[in-house]
Amino acid sequence: MTSDKDIDPLDLPICTTCGTQFSTPTPPTPCPICDDPRQYLPPSGQDYTTLRALRAPTHEPPLKNILAPLNNTNTNTKIYTLHTTPKHCIGQRAFLLLTPHGNILWDCIPYLDDDTITQINALGGISAIIISHPHYYATHLVWAEVFNCPVYLSVEDREWVMRLSPQDSSVQGGGSGGGKQIFWEGKEVEVLPGSGVIGVKTGGHFPGSSVLWWKDEGVMFLADTIGTIPSGVGDYGSRGRREGTASYTFMWSYPNMIPLPPDEVHGIWKAIKHTEFDRAYGAFMGMDTVGNCKKRVLDSAKIFVRAMGYLDHAIHEEDCA
C-alpha cells in the first residue's frame, strides 16, 4: 500500500469544495468534511485537485495569494492577512501575527506557492500555526513542513484530520512534541511561550472550535467560531447602532444556516468572558470589527438567544465585568 510519505505532498488530493488535503492518492468519496451536515456536497458533484495542478501555469483561473498588512489596526504591521484570489474553496483568510517570540499563523488556506513562501520568509517565517476548526485544516501539514513549525489542533476534533504527520503529539495546555501536529487539550494554550497569543477553546461550531486572543494587543481572532455579520461592520456614524442590532452570530452550520442552541452560545461567552479585546477579526475579508467588541459579542449573543424564544435563559444575566 502506498503511504503518505511515499507521495510528494504536491500530488496529494485536495477537495475543491472545502480545501481539505488527503493522505492517499485516491481520496474518499464523498469527502468526509463536506458530507458532514455542517458542510455540503456541491450540485456539480465531488471533485478533487492537487497543489501541483493549482500551481501550474495552465491552471484557470490562475491563483494568487495576497499577503498584506491588516487594515483598521493600530498595531502597524504586526498583523497581516492572507487570502487567495480569486476565491478558492471556502475562501477563508488566515492571519500572520508578528511577535517578538516568533510569527504565528492563525488558520490556514489550501493554496501555497513559492511566492507566498518567499514573502512570509521575508517577514521572519512561521514559528507556529494554530487552526480554529476542521473546515480550515486545508493543507496545514504542507505549511508545517515547508516552514518547519508545529501546528496546533484541538484534540476534540482529531477525527476530522485527514492527513496525519508520521509523528504527532498531544499536550496538556502547552509544551512540545516530536511531530508537526500538536493536538492540544484543555481550555487554553499559549501558542509560543511569552507571546501572549492564546488559543481559547469555546466549542460550539465544532467541539474543539477556538478563537485566538492576542492579549497584549487587545485583539480577538474569531474565525467563524463567532460569526461576523453585516450589521457588525456597517458604518452607523456618530449615532451608533440602534438597540437590538447585532454584530455577530453563532451558527452550527453557516452554509446550511443551522443555529447553535442557547447553551452552546452561552458556553462560548463563558469561555471568553475573562478576556479583554476591543477589536475582532473574522474568517473572511471585510469581517473587521473595531470598538467595544467584547460587549458587542455579549449583546449579540443575548439578541440571538432571545430571538430563538429563550427569554429567561441564563445568558441574559451575564455582563462584561
Domains and CATH numbers, the chain: 13-55+62-164+183-317 (3.60.15.10)
- What is the per-residue pLDDT across 236-287, written as a single tens digit (0 to 9) for each? 988 888 999 999 999 999 999 999 999 999 999 999 999 999 999 999 999 9
Low-confidence ranges of the chain (pLDDT < 70): 1-5, 72-76, 167-178
Residue 86's CB is within 10 A of a number of other CB atoms, namely 9
The phi and psi torsions of 76 (rounded to 5 degrees) equal: 55, -120
pLDDT value of residue 235: 87
Is residue 246 within 8 Å of residue 229, measured between CB atoms? yes
**Nearest alpha-carbon partner for 248 in 202, 184, 214:** 202
Q: How many Å apart are CA 192 and CA 49, to the nearest integer?
A: 33
pLDDT value of residue 169: 54
**Contacts of 293 by beta carbon, 8 Å cutoff, 6+ apart:** 220, 247, 277, 278, 279, 280
Is residue 250 within 8 Å of residue 263, measured between CB atoms? no
| DSSP state letter for 132 | S
**Nearest alpha-carbon partner for 21 in 145, 177, 114, 106:** 145
- For the range 237-242, what are the long-range contacts, defined as Cβ-Cβ under 8 Å and sequence gap of 24 or more? none
Q: How many Å apart are CA 8 and CA 203, to the nearest integer?
A: 34
**Residue 252, SS3?**
strand
Q: What is the DSSP string of 19-41?
A: --B-SSSS--SS-HHHHSTTS--
Give the residue carrying C-alpha cell 452554509.
Answer: 255
| DSSP state letter for 257 | T
Q: How many Å apart are CA 184 and CA 199, to the nearest integer?
A: 10
**Nearest alpha-carbon partner for 16 in 44, 57, 58:** 44
pLDDT value of residue 173: 45
Is residue 107 within 8 Å of residue 283, measured between CB atoms? yes
